[in-house]
Structure 1
Amino acid sequence: MTGGYGGADIIKDCTIGVDKGEIAVIVGPNGAGKSTAMKAMLGMLTIRKGHVRLGDKDITALTPQARVGEGIAFVPQTSNVFTGMSVEENLEMGAYLRRDDIRQTMAQVYDLFPVLKEKRRQNAGELSGGQRQQVAVGRALMTRPSVLMLDEPTAGVSPIVMGELFDRIIEVRDTGLAVLMVEQNARQALEIADRGYVLVGGVNWREGTGEELLADPEVRKSFLGG
Structure 2
Amino acid sequence: MSEPFLIGDTMTGGYGNGPDILHECTIAVDRGEIAVIVGPNGAGKSTAMRAVFGMLNVRQGAVRLNGEDITALSPQDRVVKGMGFVPQTHNIFTSMTVEENLEMGAFIRTDDISGTMEQVYELFPILREKRHQAAGELSGGQRQQVAVGRALMTKPTVLMLDEPTAGVSPIVMDELFDRIIEVARTGISILMVEQNARQALEIADKGYVLVQGRNAHTGSGKDLLADSEVRRSFLGG
| TM-score over 0.5 (shorter chain) | yes
Q: Which residue of 2 aligns with 1:141?
A: 152
**What stretches of structure 2 of length at least 5 have no aligned partner?**
1-10
Equivalent position amino acid for 1:49 in 2: Q
SS at structure 1 position matched to 2:147: helix
Equivalent position amino acid for 1:97 in 2: I
Counterparts of 1:92 and 1:4, CA distance in 2: 33
Question: Number of residues paired by the alignment?
Answer: 226
Instruction: State whether structure 2 residue 77 is matched by structure 1 residue 46.
Output: no
Equivalent position amino acid for 1:23 in 2: I
Counterparts of 1:38 and 1:195, CA distance in 2: 15
Deviations 1:66-108 (A, max 9, x none): 0000000000001111111110000000001100100010111
Q: Which residue of 1 aligns with 2:78?
A: 67
- Pick aligned residue for 1:3 from 10, 13, 19: 13
SS at structure 2 position matched to 1:156: coil
- 1:20 Cα deviation after fit: 1.0
RMSD: 0.6
Runs of 4+ in 1 over 3 A off after TM superposition: none
Q: Which residue of 2 aligns with 1:155?
A: 166
Counterparts of 1:216 and 1:137, CA distance in 2: 31
SS at structure 1 position matched to 2:132: coil
Q: Which residue of 1 aligns with 2:99?
A: 88
Instruction: State whether structure 2 residue 212 is matched by structure 1 residue 201.
Output: yes
Counterparts of 2:43 and 2:216, CA distance in 1: 10
Counterparts of 1:109 and 1:77, CA distance in 2: 20
Q: Which has the higher strand share?
A: 2
Query: What TM-score do the two structures reach when normalised by structure 2?
Result: 0.94
Q: What percent of counterpart residues are identical?
A: 75
SS at structure 2 position matched to 1:97: coil
Counterparts of 2:129 and 2:185, CA distance in 1: 23
Counterparts of 2:96 and 2:59, CA distance in 1: 39
- Aligned pairs for 1:1-226 (under 5 A) are 1-5=11-15, 6-226=17-237
